[in-house]
A and B are shown apart, each in its own frame.
Chain A
Amino acid sequence: MVRDTGGTRPVTATVTLDDIGSRVAAAAAGGRALRIAGRGTWLDAGGPVEAGETLSLASYSGIVDYVPGDLTITVRAGTPLTEIASATREHGQWLPLDPPGSPDGTIGATVATGSYGPLATAFGRPRDQVLGLESVSGTGEVITVGSRVVKNVAGFDLTRLLVGSWGTLGVITQLTLRLRARNDVERSAGIVVPERGRKLAAVLAAARAARIAPLALELLDPSVAHRLGLPAETVLLARFGGNSESVTAQLAELAALGQSFAAPDDCWDRLRALDADATATLRFSTPLADLPILWDALADGATGGQELLRHATVMRGIVRCLVQAPAGSARSLDDVLTGIARPLESARLIPERLGNAWSRIAGASIDDPISRRVKLAFDPANVLNPGILGESP
């Protein structure tokens, strides 16, 4: 499913790298801002973009190079995640990135937004999986950084800078990614855990100390668990991979922590899809030990009867909070967001989808002097997604 709430503007197909370069160069020369888009999945994700034109990478897609023996793949930015999944599956491999939202979304948008899901537990974020990329800077120049080998320290790391920069430093056009071989056995299971407070904290600490090495370990609130077809309780959901002996032992170890149940394999896909119903999404990053406090604070901060859906990546200290569409006015959404946006001092807000509320809730995320200089160095005319990171014009 493709979300395209910003789709009132004309979307022009771009077919070649030259097209993209000349579109950006022309925009820079004419002082016209561009909204950079993949398949539109994240169009309403950031702050309001002041741009008269959309530069879509959706038709700039396809696998450029895939060498299964090297476990690397090079793809154009508009390639849907599903296409990468099906190409790699044939060779028993996968790209372990499970960002929220539609699997039809593009790899370019996933990397540009730095999006990730529960698999970050074992495999890290896009930052850890992108080996190299090609992009078009704000002046229309093609810049290629990194490479297609798994270790590379040649030159300054522009790759990391572009990952998660929301298209504001360059239009990502092509990427090389590190793949993994799939495990022989994969099983998912959950346990029912205390809803909140010290009892929950104790279970989470026990899980972190347990003899398990999960691919994913996600805490779900009862609403989320219910939507995934699991018991409507607070649940700790784990995904294990490895050889059968290892997986069996880990399932037993998890079961020792609480009342356990087997979970269907598709529950992870259902978790990703939850995002489709949300009006706004906030992601918080916190020190591991503060995660239970954050979990409770988010529940406490919800006011006005709006439903919040919460799930947390326990090993990474990440909580995602999905706000369901409020029945009332836009103002009431703002109230809800304001109520939960500052849950505790140690938590960092990473806005995923706030739309027009961004600047009020999140503030600019690139307002420090270094970030401003970085933006100016790569997009001096400020034509790439201006405003999307909450920065003022």
Chain B
Amino acid sequence: MSLNAEPARPSGGDYTLDPALARKLAEIVGGTHVLSRQSQLLVYNSDGLPGYRRQPSLAVFPGTRDEVIDVVRALHEAGAPFVPRGAGTGLSGGALADGIVLLGLNRLKRILDIDVENRTATVEPGVVNLSLNRAVGPKGLLYAPDPSSEAACTIGGNVAENAGGPHCLKYGVTLNHILAVKAVLPDGSIVQLGDEVSDRAGYDLVGAFVGSEGCFGVALEITVRLLKKPEVIRTMLADFLTVDGGARATSAIIASGIVPAALEFLDGPTTRVVESSIYAAGYPTDAEAILLVELDGLLDGIDEDVDRVRRICMDAGARTVRVARDDAERLKLWQGRKKAFGAMGRLAPHLVVQDAVVPRTKIPEILAAIHGISQKHGVLVCNIFHAGDGNLHPNIPYNADDVEQSERVHQAMREIMGVCIAAGGTITGEHGVGLDKIGYMEKIFTPNSLAAMCRLREVFDPERRSNPGKVVPLHSCREWYATPAGRGR
């Protein structure tokens, strides 16, 4: 089942697994780390989006960097396409392998180095985002990107998707924090992109690799920039009787010159479902919009900014603005936000989590349009998003086994994406294109631009064996058809 008009199938579809490859991979990683039974592989048929189920024919889980290299070389010799995968929390169908080899990297979870003086850390790709912060936190340091799935997602996956999170508003996305990547390319060669310094001459190959969704190769080591932990954090909850009030307050806060660490928006349906779950955070259930505004930095002057944000919210029509008194209350406010997707499990067995970005000034009209679309198709849309960035997450709880309902949900989502594109937005702000958005790529990029992206991919993976069929529609890759690999299609 596909959410979009594009019936994308990963292009590994014509690949037939050679039993000799499974034996070879088992020699490298040990038999227990190669899965080939259908029942075992079922676990890997989704990355959180219920609309897409694709099952690998084989899954291999190397435990060391050398094993990763040997595995990639064996795959290269066999001409086998493969999909690198971290924790599988991408929510875009990007980490799905359809009848090809899945290369799981979550056993590579060693933090190789924390350099306090130079404020960097070097990690293996399977290190969980939150684990890195638990390791550097006591040293007074912070790895800023914090996807909502930070307790499960991996740094390698963050790099592949150029992941975001609530605190990107102030600190930037993953890209802004990656200094270097050591990677193995699909042909088995090792490349070192960037190094421990913040700038260097030549092309920004780190910038190109980050966000390439596993299509350029497999990260072996990632060097990240760490920041000094903020001295103080103030988290505020502002509630509004209208969606418009929340949107107005968002714009006014940004315009004030204060850069909040995070500025999150939850609409009425979202707060109500959170409050009815075990993640209840004390959000007012009669509000139609709540804003979670977090300011951080130096102690001196922060209360002046808190007062200013409070005034801005009240002027925009807030009923109340509450500042968390202590860490416990602050974490509770955040838990409601970060676990909202889980709380939506109360409403229906499945959930479509969407990810689009619109110019911030268009938020009120887009939310109104989303409301209209939800009414038209009889679906419930829960809006929870990074308002400061204009990064929307319209979510629709539904039952994917109900064919008729699914069709309504998909139609509504297509229309919502259409509205975001028409407003000058983009189709993904932090989850990636994967399978889910590939059908929209031609709506936001010209054929020339897509062909140029293909050319960049071919620099790293001329045979298109790493995560084939993702990100850029195959028919956009004009030059590729002139290559031996392309002529085979």
- Interface residues, chain A, CB within 8 Å of chain B? 67-72, 92, 114, 124-125, 127-128, 137, 141-145, 147-161, 163-165, 169, 180-184, 208-209, 211-213, 242-250, 283, 285-289, 316-318, 346-351, 362, 365-366, 368, 370-371, 373-374, 377-378, 389
Q: How far is the CA of A316 from the CA of B457 in the complex (A)?
A: 31
Q: Is the CB of A67 within 8 A of B257?
A: no
B395 interface residue, CB < 8 Å from A? no
Q: Is the CB of A160 within 8 A of B257?
A: no
CB neighbours of A163 from chain B (8 A): 204, 207
CB neighbours of A159 from chain B (8 A): 207
Q: Which of B441-468 contact A (CB under 8 A)?
A: 441, 444-446, 448-453, 455-460
CB neighbours of B173 from chain A (8 A): 151, 153
Q: How far is the CA of A377 from the CA of B298 in the complex (A)?
A: 47
Given contacts A70-B360, A156-B211, A249-B301, contact A287 B203 (CB under 8 A): no
In the complex formed, the residue of B with least CB distance to A72 is: B359
Q: Is the CB of B202 within 8 A of A389?
A: yes
B197 interface residue, CB < 8 Å from A? yes
Tell me, rounded to whole Å, the shortest Cβ–Cβ distance linking B233 to chain A. Answer: 14
Binary interface profile of B, 313-332, with partner A (CB < 8 Å = 1, else 0)?
A: 00000000000000000000
Q: Is the CB of B448 within 8 A of A143?
A: yes
Tell me, rounded to whole Å, the shortest Cβ–Cβ distance linking A100 to chain B. Answer: 14
Q: Is the CB of B361 within 8 A of A70?
A: yes
B172 interface residue, CB < 8 Å from A? yes
Given contacts A141-B452, A144-B449, A348-B195, contact A151 B204 (CB under 8 A): no
CB neighbours of B210 from chain A (8 A): 157, 160
Given contacts A69-B361, A243-B305, A370-B191, contact A317 B205 (CB under 8 A): no
Q: Is the CB of A154 within 8 A of B444?
A: yes
In the complex formed, the residue of A with least CB distance to B168 is: A151
B231 interface residue, CB < 8 Å from A? yes
Q: How far is the CA of A149 from the CA of B420 in the complex (A)?
A: 11
Q: How far is the CA of A151 from the CA of B166 in the complex (A)?
A: 12
Q: Is the CB of A152 within 8 A of B357?
A: yes
Given contacts A151-B357, A285-B197, contact A377 B437 (CB under 8 A): no
Q: Is the CB of A142 within 8 A of B119?
A: no
Q: Is the CB of A243 within 8 A of B254?
A: no
Given contacts A156-B471, A157-B212, A370-B205, contact A150 B433 (CB under 8 A): no
Given contacts A287-B197, A370-B459, contact A149 B425 (CB under 8 A): yes
Given contacts A153-B161, A160-B208, A182-B257, contact A67 B359 (CB under 8 A): yes
Q: How far is the CA of A114 from the CA of B202 in the complex (A)?
A: 10
CB neighbours of A243 from chain B (8 A): 301, 304-305, 308
In the complex formed, the residue of B with least CB distance to A316 is: B198
Tell me, rounded to whole Å, the shortest Cβ–Cβ distance linking B281 to chain A. Answer: 25
Q: A92-B257, A152-B357, A243-B308 are in contact. List 5 more A-B contacts (CB 8 A).
A: A151-B429, A155-B445, A157-B208, A161-B208, A373-B459
Q: How far is the CA of A142 from the CA of B452 in the complex (A)?
A: 10
In the complex formed, the residue of B with least CB distance to A148 is: B424
Q: Is the CB of B456 within 8 A of A161?
A: yes
Interface centre among A244, A289, A347, A349, by most B CB within 10 Å?
Answer: A289
Q: Is the CB of A371 within 8 A of B205?
A: yes
CB neighbours of A346 from chain B (8 A): 196-197
Q: Is the CB of B430 within 8 A of A69?
A: no
CB neighbours of A351 from chain B (8 A): 201
Tell me, rounded to whole Å, the shortest Cβ–Cβ distance linking A372 to chain B. Answer: 9
B186 interface residue, CB < 8 Å from A? no
Task: Sample 15 A-B pairs with CB under 8 A, ordered by A number.
Answer: A71-B254, A114-B204, A148-B359, A153-B164, A154-B437, A155-B453, A160-B204, A161-B207, A161-B456, A211-B299, A287-B118, A288-B119, A365-B202, A374-B208, A377-B458
Q: Is the CB of B448 within 8 A of A285?
A: no
Q: How far is the CA of A240 from the CA of B119 in the complex (A)?
A: 22
CB neighbours of A71 from chain B (8 A): 254, 360
B142 interface residue, CB < 8 Å from A? no
CB neighbours of A161 from chain B (8 A): 203-205, 207-208, 456
B300 interface residue, CB < 8 Å from A? yes
- Interface residues, chain B, CB within 8 Å of chain A? 115, 117-120, 161-162, 164, 168, 172-173, 175-176, 191, 193, 195-205, 207-208, 210-212, 215, 228, 231, 251, 254-259, 297-302, 304-305, 308, 357-361, 386, 389-391, 424-433, 437, 440-441, 444-446, 448-453, 455-460, 471-472
Given contacts A69-B361, A148-B424, A246-B300, contact A371 B203 (CB under 8 A): yes
In the complex formed, the residue of B with least CB distance to A159 is: B207
Tell me, rounded to whole Å, the shortest Cβ–Cβ distance linking B404 to chain A. Answer: 31
Q: Is the CB of B298 within 8 A of A213?
A: yes
CB neighbours of A180 from chain B (8 A): 257, 259
Q: Is the CB of A127 within 8 A of B204?
A: yes
Interface centre among A92, A158, A283, by most B CB within 10 Å?
Answer: A158
CB neighbours of B430 from chain A (8 A): 151, 153
Smallest CB-CB A-B distances: 6 pairs: A160-B207, A246-B301, A249-B300, A365-B201, A181-B257, A151-B429
Kindly identify which residue among B197, B360, B453 contacts A156, using a CB–CB cutoff of 8 Å.
B453
CB neighbours of B119 from chain A (8 A): 288
Q: Is the CB of A149 within 8 A of B359?
A: yes
Q: Is the CB of A142 within 8 A of B208?
A: no
Q: How far is the CA of A163 from the CA of B204 in the complex (A)?
A: 8
In the complex formed, the residue of B with least CB distance to A144 is: B449
CB neighbours of B203 from chain A (8 A): 161, 164-165, 169, 366, 371, 374
Tell me, rounded to whole Å, the shortest Cβ–Cβ distance linking B159 to chain A. Answer: 11
Interface centre among B201, B305, B456, by most A CB within 10 Å?
Answer: B201
Q: How far is the CA of A169 from the CA of B207 in the complex (A)?
A: 15
Kindly identify which residue among B196, B254, B458, B471 contacts A287, using a CB–CB cutoff of 8 Å.
B196
Q: Is the CB of A212 within 8 A of B298?
A: yes
Q: Is the CB of B452 within 8 A of A378?
A: yes
CB neighbours of B450 from chain A (8 A): 155
In the complex formed, the residue of A with least CB distance to B210 is: A157
Q: How far is the CA of A285 from the CA of B305 in the complex (A)?
A: 35
CB neighbours of B255 from chain A (8 A): 68-69, 92, 181
Tell me, rounded to whole Å, the shortest Cβ–Cβ distance linking B393 to chain A. Answer: 12
CB neighbours of A152 from chain B (8 A): 357, 426, 428-429
CB neighbours of B472 from chain A (8 A): 155-156
In the complex formed, the residue of A with least CB distance to B205 is: A370
Q: How far is the CA of A377 from the CA of B461 in the complex (A)?
A: 13
Q: Is the CB of B162 within 8 A of A377?
A: no
Kindly identify which residue among A125, A211, A316, A373 contacts B231, using a CB–CB cutoff of 8 Å.
A211
Tell me, rounded to whole Å, the shortest Cβ–Cβ distance linking A241 to chain B. Answer: 9
Q: Is the CB of A127 within 8 A of B207?
A: yes
Q: How far is the CA of A280 from the CA of B441 in the complex (A)?
A: 45
Tell me, rounded to whole Å, the shortest Cβ–Cβ distance linking B219 to chain A. Answer: 15
Q: Is the CB of B455 within 8 A of A348?
A: no
Q: How far is the CA of A144 from the CA of B197 in the complex (A)?
A: 30
Q: Is the CB of B429 within 8 A of A158?
A: no
CB neighbours of B386 from chain A (8 A): 151
Q: Is the CB of A250 within 8 A of B201?
A: no
CB neighbours of A67 from chain B (8 A): 359, 361
CB neighbours of B191 from chain A (8 A): 368, 370
Q: Is the CB of A250 within 8 A of B300?
A: yes
Interface centre among B360, B386, B430, B457, by most A CB within 10 Å?
Answer: B360
Q: Is the CB of A149 within 8 A of B390?
A: yes
Tell me, rounded to whole Å, the shortest Cβ–Cβ distance linking B260 to chain A. Answer: 12
CB neighbours of B432 from chain A (8 A): 153
Kindly identify which residue among A69, A366, A377 contacts B455, using a CB–CB cutoff of 8 Å.
A377
Tell me, rounded to whole Å, the shortest Cβ–Cβ distance linking A113 to chain B. Answer: 11
